[in-house]
Amino acid sequence: MRDNLKELQDELNGRDTNPAYIATALAIQEKNIDGILNNLQTLERAVAEKRTEIPDALREYLKR
């Protein structure tokens, strides 16, 4: 995520970019952040419930 945002920043600093491209790139990063947040919340619930298995959603995310 950090690297993706850094690349976007470098592109913005290096040349003129299309506003639609920037909006799309930022929307993708927003979706990534939402996914990370959801996975962290799922993991937090699993820890609070003292579950020992990895939640399915987190398992799928970690496979990527």
| CA–CA separation, 4 and 36 (whole Å) | 14
pLDDT of residue 28: 92
Q: Under a CB-based contact definition with an 8 Å cutoff, are residues 38 and 57 in contact? A: yes
Alpha helix segments (H runs only) across the chain: 2-14, 19-48, 56-63
pLDDT of residue 34: 93
Ordered per-residue pLDDT tens for the chain, 64 residues: 788 888 888 888 877 778 888 889 889 999 999 988 988 888 888 888 887 777 777 777 777 7
Tally the domains of the chain: 1
SS3 16: coil
pLDDT of residue 31: 93
pLDDT of residue 22: 84
Q: Under a CB-based contact definition with an 8 Å cutoff, are residues 12 and 22 in contact? A: yes
Domain ranges, residue 10: 2-63
